[in-house]
Structures are given as structure tokens and as C-alpha cells.
Amino acid sequence: MSDSHTEPPSTPALRIKAIQQLLQEKGLLPPGAIDKIVDAFEHKLGPKIGARVVARAWTNPDYRRQLLTNAVEAIGEFGSHDPHLAVVERTPTIVVENTPAVHNVVVCTLCSCYPWNVLGLPPNWYKTPPYRSRVVIDPRGVLAEFGLKVPDDVEVRVWDSNNELRYFVLPQRPAGTEGWSEEKLATIVTRDSMIGTALCKADSR
Amino acid sequence: MNGIHDLGGMQDMGDLPFEANEPVFHEDWERQVLGTNVVLNMLGAYTVHELRYSMERIPPLQYLASPYFLHWLDGIERLLLEKGYVTQEELASGRSSSASPPGRRPAGPPPQHPAPPPPSNPPRFKVGDRIRARNLNPRTHTRLPRYVRGRLGTVAACPGAFEFADGLAQGKGGDLQHVYSVRFEGSELWGPDAGPKDAVYIDLYESYIEAP
């Protein structure tokens, strides 16, 4: 919000440093707190959590049922239990399941709401106007740009996570993975498949 | 607020910015912005709703042209100024001035607000009910996007009661309201230009919807 017309523009790096210094001088920001948060977000969250959740759901019908009815508890099994992520990991979450008849895809048209608890921070495209604007009005066109052609007889459900609930997609288990272990299955569950902009493939590692 | 952030249904925003092997952060300042925001949130300096409203007030041309974490930085600066945590002079100089108003709260755990009471009314709608999204155009923050206003939908689920974001965004209390997951058919939203068998699901507060 640099409304100064006479001063030289400040870089983002300088601006956030100034904020941090000021708040620390004023005793509003505990020293070291930011490093711990950033470390937890960067290294303990991410789509690997979601991939483990999906692989478990593919191999364990009881877990799948629990995931579809009480996702927070089911996901919690794979959570970091890092106290810095406690709020993130308690996020109310709904899992929507892809079937041969229904394909689901997630967006936040108003900002960038995203299931941090299972996928970590969102990719840039998820947060930008091209995706947020168009996926609700032309989901099939947008998915085609990801290389995903949804047949006309398959229903497309777009989930606009505009409120307190976060959504993520339980993709279909691909053919050719019969007999695979949970660990091996987790390796083919991509971030995009859990947003709904891709399918899982046996060779997508 | 009918701002540029309410993007749903626009068609001229360009190509999707794909990036192979995208890192979580491209530059260190993005990391610092994320960390600062999360810590300030956890300490109760402001709510995520207030930050969203702050970012929605970024001028439209700037909003479209600036990268994502710059939205956060702009939003954080505006909130810290509005709430009196810092002054414009302090932000410019990077040094706290003795003449500045003292920060509102010391570092520490967030104040314990009592949980708001549950909604005083039972849910007005149930799964399967036809509803209409109300045509509301508040000047302030809302989670009712333009593309569903006035449109007919069907209640798909009743996920519970949540604090009213529109109030929280203005630093007011957020009364607990019943929230409904509402399904809108593509043809209801977009007419004959909708794709075959497309639908949008969106979570709407009870005050956003009415019987058709």
C-alpha cells in the first residue's frame, strides 16, 4: 500500500522486514516465532499428507467411510501434530469423491482458500485470476488446459470453498494398481489429482 | 463489496500460469510475509476475515497486476495502520517513533473471546430444499459472490453453524449462523452456455438465502 508519491518505492523484502522490526520493538511479535511457523509450513505440510490419506482410503474401506463422514479425524492420523500447525490441522474439511459418473474440482473464487491441512500451500495458478474466474463457468475448458478431458456424460462438480469449510478430492484409484501396497499407491497421488485438475495414473510417478 | 476479487464467472483473465516444479516460495520475502501473517493471526492481532477485507480494498489495477504474496503484504500493512499498531512514518522509516501510539496488545496468546452462542433459531432449510441466493450488495466484505446472487439452488448438505464472516471482517462479532452447502446447476448460473452436466457447490450463510 505504498501511497507515497515522492519517496522511492520500497521492495517487498524491505517492507516486510520493516514490519517485523517494528512489531518486535513494540513487543508485539515474539522473536523467533516466525521462523518456527515458516519451517512448519514449508517442511511439515504438503501434498504428501493428502497422498497418504488417499492411499489409505483406496486400501481400507473403513478408513474411506470415516474420511467421507469425518475428514478432520481421518486426516489427523497423518497430521504432523506440530503445535504450530494445530489451527491448520483442525480446519473443517470435506472430502468429495470422484466416481465414474462424477468428477470434482476445487476452487476459491473470492480469495485462495485451500486445504492447507492436506495439501500445504497452493500452487500459484490456484490463486490467480485465470483459474478463479473461469473454473466455475467453464470447468471442462479449464480442465482441458490441464490435459484432462472429461467425457460429456460425466457430471462435473465445482466446489467453491468460499466459506469456512475446505474441500479436497478423493481421486479414483487407477487401473493397473491392483495389489499395490499403500506406500506405493501414495507415490502416484499428485497434488493436482486432489484439487481435481488431474487424474491419478499408474505411471504418474 | 463488488470488487475485483469477486472473479467467479469472468472469462478474459488470460492463460493459466503453469510452472513445473514450483517451489513453495519463490523469494524469501514471501516466506517472511506468510510467517508474519500466520503469527499475527495466532496472536489475535487481526482475523483472517479482516485480512481478506483489507486485500479486497487493494485498487483493482494493482490487484490484477501484483503477485499473490504482495496482496498479503499490502493487506497486512493496511490492517496494522488501521488498527493503530504502526504509523505510516514508522513503516517508511522502519524505526518505531516515540510519538507513535503504543501497540494495542503485547505479544502473547490471543485474548480468549467467549464462544458465541449457537444460532437462536433451528435451521430454516433442510437437504433437498429449493432456495434462492438473495440479491445482496453490501459495501463491505461478504462471502456471497455475485455469480450466485438471485439464482435458484438446492440445499445439498447442512455442515453446521459458523461465525458470520461479514461481521468478523469489520472487527465486529460474528454471530453463529447455519451454513448450507448449496448446489447450483450450471444452466441456472450460465444459461445455455453452460457445459453439459456441470454444477457448482458453494457454502452459504442462512442470511444469504431465502425461500424461492
- Contact criterion met (CB < 8 Å) for B103 and A23: yes
Alpha-carbon span B161 to B209, nearest angstrom: 15
- The string of pLDDT tens digits covering residues B64-114 is 999 999 999 999 999 999 999 999 999 988 888 754 455 455 455 555 566
pLDDT at residue A4 in the model: 47
Chain A residues inside the 8 Å CB shell of B91: 15, 18-19, 22
B85 contact partners, CB below 8 Å, separation of at least 6: A23, A26, A28, B45, B103, B104
pLDDT over 70 percentage in chain A: 95
| DSSP alpha helix (H) spans, B47-102 | 48-56, 60-65, 68-82, 88-93
- Are the C-beta atoms of A195 and A169 separated by less than 8 Å? yes
Mean pLDDT for A136-151 is 98
Chain A residues inside the 8 Å CB shell of B15: 130, 145
Chain B residues inside the 8 Å CB shell of A133: 7-11, 13
The residue type found at A168 is F
- Are the C-beta atoms of A126 and A111 separated by less than 8 Å? no
| R_g (Cα) of chain A, nearest Å | 20
Alpha-carbon span B198 to B187, nearest angstrom: 8
pLDDT at residue B75 in the model: 98
B61 contact partners, CB below 8 Å, separation of at least 6: none
- The helix (run of H) or strand (run of E) holding residue B210 is strand B209-210
Does residue B29 register a pLDDT over 70?
yes
Identify the structural domains of chain A with CATH numbers, from first to last: 44-195 (3.90.330.10)
Mean pLDDT for A151-167 is 97
Q: What is the DSSP string of A124-184?
A: HHHHSHHHHHHTTT-HHHHHHHTT----TTSEEEEEE--SS-EEEEEPPPPTT-TT--HHH
pLDDT at residue B173 in the model: 77
Distance from CA of A154 to the nearest CA of B (A): 7
- Contact criterion met (CB < 8 Å) for A19 and B64: no
Q: Let me know if B211 is exposed, middle or buried by CB neighbors in 10 A (0-12, 13-18, 19+).
A: exposed
3-class state of residue B3 by DSSP: coil
Mean pLDDT for B32-40 is 96
- The string of pLDDT tens digits covering residues B57-74 is 999 999 999 999 999 999
CA contacts within 13 A on the Cβ side of A16: 22
- Contact criterion met (CB < 8 Å) for B198 and A121: no
Query: What is B1-108's CATH topology?
Result: Cyclin A; domain 1 (1.10.472)
**Which sequence spans correspond to the domains of chain B?**
1-108, 130-210
- The string of pLDDT tens digits covering residues A41-88 is 999 999 999 999 999 999 999 999 999 999 999 999 998 888 889 888
3-class state of residue B68 by DSSP: helix
- CATH number among 3.40.50.720, 2.30.30.50, 2.60.40.10, 3.40.50.300, domain B130-210: 2.30.30.50
pLDDT at residue A77 in the model: 93
- The string of pLDDT tens digits covering residues B137-150 is 999 999 999 999 99
- The string of pLDDT tens digits covering residues B124-133 is 999 999 999 9
- Contact criterion met (CB < 8 Å) for B198 and A155: yes
- The string of pLDDT tens digits covering residues A180-201 is 999 999 999 999 999 999 999 9
